Amino acid sequence: MNKPRLSAKETQALVARSIRRRYWAEHRFRTYGLGAVIAGMAFLVYLFFVIFSNGIGAFRQTELRLDVFYDPAIIDPAGTRKLEELQSADYAAVVRAALKERFKDVEGRAATRELTHLVSGSAAFDLQRAVLRNPSLLGTRETRWVLASDAVDLTLKGHVDRALPEAERPLSDRQLGWVDELRAEGALALKFNKGFLTSGDSREPENAGIWGAVAGSFFTLVLTLLLSFPIGVAAAIYLEEFARKNRWTDIIEVNINNLAAVPSIVFGLLGLAVFIGFFGLPRSAPLVGAMVLTLLTLPTIIIASRAALKAVPPSIREAALGMGASKIQMVMHHVLPLAMPGMLTGTIIGMARALGESAPLLMIGMVAFIVDVPKGITDPSTVLPVQVYLWSDSPERGFVEKTSGAIIVLLAFLVVMNTTAVILRKRFERRW
Amino acid sequence: MDTAIEMERAGINLKPSGRMPDDSVLQAPVEAGKTVGNITVDDPIFSCRDVDVYYGEKHAIKKVGIDIGKNSVLAMIGPSGCGKSTFLRCLNRMNDTIPNARVVGSIKLDGNDIHDKKQDVVQLRARVGMVFQKPNPFPKSIYENVAYGPRIHGLAGDRVELDEIVHSSLQRAGLWEEVKDRLQHPGTSLSGGQQQRLCIARTIAVNPEVILMDEPCSALDPIATARIEDLMEELRQSYAIVIVTHSMQQAARVSQRTAYFHLGDLIEVGETDRIFTNPRHRLTEDYITGRFG
């Protein structure tokens, strides 16, 4: 027998020399990993801090206390008490009268106009709604909180620099004086902004709400899920379990992988050309948005579903076939339940991407300014990311915090959606 | 073992030195379709002739012909890669699921060719059940595992009948006493031997005519193996059983007939007692005396 090249002692000396280097390499790798995690967390915390500190203001809005007199002489001068009369009355005059009653010394058109600018234009609609709901208010007095204008709101939230020259400020010196006076007597206060969560978009920042976009996103995503999940899973099952493996399936596979990498705006152009141009479906509708987003998410769902199907152990398939199950029974009874968690993971990823998409939806007109909250899948609407984009583009200072507020709502929507999906996936996961 | 096969392929004589050639042992080289011993039995359930299997270019089984008798156990032995599992999988057409696999020749179940267009593969597999090497219960409850076959084939009219089938199948597989209190527990929570008996119960629940077993005990300990072997002796009263095994002791214990495969050829078939005491072919003798394998 040959003598070993090294003696036992020499071998150990060599091993000892390499050991320190190995530990050092491991230590270095751990440090890199930890550093990456900490850096990522820091950026995330910073991001959330910025969004929340900017956006939290959107959930509170300044309101102004007014002593309103529902003057029949203004609202219903003819005394008919007809609904049309009450509807078309000049409620702005009622608001003006209430303000003038509070500030009796204000004289002249210019001063009156400045005074009415303290109150939001929507205050008149608010009074109109109150009277229509309860016509017996006519001739009575009521203390009512109405929305202040966005300029007053910004001032109260401290976004207006009083040191600026008067011409560059949203409020004049005179208006600032009134604001301070009202504030001192407690007639101006920041209240929870119900309108932000319940109404649609508006040109006036104090009236703009997110609900229209939330409803649009909801309709679009529910429809996307209903379209893309069955189609994606069915395509994956067909390709993985039934299709013959030949050149055609290879070409299809390559193309599905390529589709996953196509820029999303291209899908928007396709939707514009085919769904709207060729099939004549309505513009700005969640229906078309969902169809475009379905095209976008299908590759993700198909790829993830195929991977999940591939991961099901072949012994389960053999067991089912050996029992005399047909191929479709094998898939439906045994393979699909085991692959479902993986398929749902792919769907969550796809839906999260669909929720955040704005570019393809711009192409099909979901970027339009829409005030009404959509009630169905063919009503014109917009979606949350597009609403963020629209508000971030608006010149009024009041939209800055609305933008961040909309991002908070978008994140909340995402969290709710993903939590639901994860809970659903947990139910399918059988660890036995 | 693989070295032995390669040496054999290269024409190296494995004959041990110092041993005189015995006249009773055939020296003839292997020829496809020329099997030593009697391949026929009276009143066979399976009758296979000239069966060839190709995996793409590879010729896995060459001109195999053999009958499988009712109420008896046929053991198939041979070194790894000799084609015994492949042949077993021909009998219930499990090779259909393998892309590129091609089976030619005649395999008749009760006189009807199983590759006939009129023969439905689902029905065939209900008649010819299979137990696999690794226990593979479904990830469902013990009850559901056994009830699955009767359910898809519509064997039970109502819940009571189904309960009865599950009960009797588990009883015949010798598992009832161990699991009767936890039928709703997952099948995968059982031990390896219990899982394999569950798979046997699942197979006999559809009342097949033939049970194919592909090395059913290779993943089990000796005690669990002994239980399965006892079970096979009982099941033989009602079914024809074909078992592939690597253990010659097991083949000797459980089977009435033994078939020896070598590199895709069926070398020798005969009564188990005769094969193990007086093999007629050189390769059979080498294998069972442990000179390779």
- Spell out which residues of chain A touch residue B125, defining contact as CB-CB under 8 Å: 321-324
In terms of average pLDDT, the best of A122-126, A163-167, A233-237, B169-173 is A233-237
CB contact under 8 A, B148 and A315: no
- Spell out which residues of chain B touch residue A245, defining contact as CB-CB under 8 Å: 99
Chain A interface residues facing chain B, Cβ-Cβ under 8 Å? 245, 313, 315-326, 329, 333-334, 337-338, 430, 432
Give B56 to chain A, closest Cα distance, Å.
14
In terms of average pLDDT, the best of A73-77, A180-184, A305-309, B168-172 is A305-309
State how far the alpha carbon of A185 is from the alpha carbons of A66, A188, B228, in Å.
12, 8, 92
SS3 B24: coil
| pLDDT, tens only, A225-269 | 999 999 999 999 999 999 888 899 999 999 999 999 999 999 999
- Spell out which residues of chain B touch residue A318, defining contact as CB-CB under 8 Å: 94, 97, 130, 132, 136
Minimal Cβ distance to A430: which of B125, B132, B139: B139
More confident residue, B20 or B205: B205
Which of B91, B94, B125 is best to mutate for the A interface (most A CBs within 10 A)?
B125
SS3 B173: coil
Question: Could you tell me which residues are beta bridge partners of residue A63?
Answer: A147, A189
pLDDT value, residue B20: 42
Task: Output the six-digit token pair for A64.
Answer: 């102004």
CB contact under 8 A, B123 and A324: yes
Minimal Cβ distance to A321: which of B125, B134, B148: B125
Q: Which residue has the tokens 């156990």?
A: B73
SS3 A146: strand
CB contact under 8 A, A432 and B129: no
pLDDT value, residue A29: 97
pLDDT value, residue B15: 42
Which of B89, B95, B97 is best to mutate for the A interface (most A CBs within 10 A)?
B97
Task: Using DSSP bridges, classify how beta strands B240-244 and B210-214 pair: parallel, antiparallel or unpaired.
Answer: parallel
Tell me which chain B residue has its CA closest to the CA of residue A431.
Answer: B139
| pLDDT, tens only, B184-193 | 999 988 998 8
State how far the alpha carbon of A330 is from the alpha carbons of A238, A316, A336, A380, B122, in Å.
13, 9, 9, 44, 11
Minimal Cβ distance to B132: which of A319, A334, A337: A319
Minimal Cβ distance to B136: which of A245, A316, A329: A316
Q: Above 60 in pLDDT, residue B14?
A: no
Q: How confident is the prediction for chain A on average, in pLDDT?
A: 90
Minimal Cβ distance to A315: which of B97, B134, B206: B134
CB contact under 8 A, A324 and B203: no
CB contact under 8 A, B122 and A325: yes
pLDDT value, residue B203: 93
Start-to-end Cα distance in chain A: 53
- Asked if B74 and B48 count as a contact pair (C-beta separation under 8 A), the reply is no
CB contact under 8 A, B139 and A316: yes
**pLDDT interval class at A170 (50, 70, 90):** confident
Q: How far out from the chain centre does Cα B117 lie?
A: 25
Tell me which chain B residue has its CA closest to the CA of residue A326.
Answer: B122
| pLDDT, tens only, A195-217 | 899 989 988 888 899 999 999 99
**What residue ranges define each of the domains in chain B, with the CATH number in brackets?**
32-288 (3.40.50.300)
- Asked if B20 and B48 count as a contact pair (C-beta separation under 8 A), the reply is no
Tell me which chain B residue has its CA closest to the CA of residue A429.
Answer: B139
Phi-psi category of B138—alpha, beta or left, where left has phi over 0 and alpha has psi -120 to 50? beta
**pLDDT interval class at B33 (50, 70, 90):** low
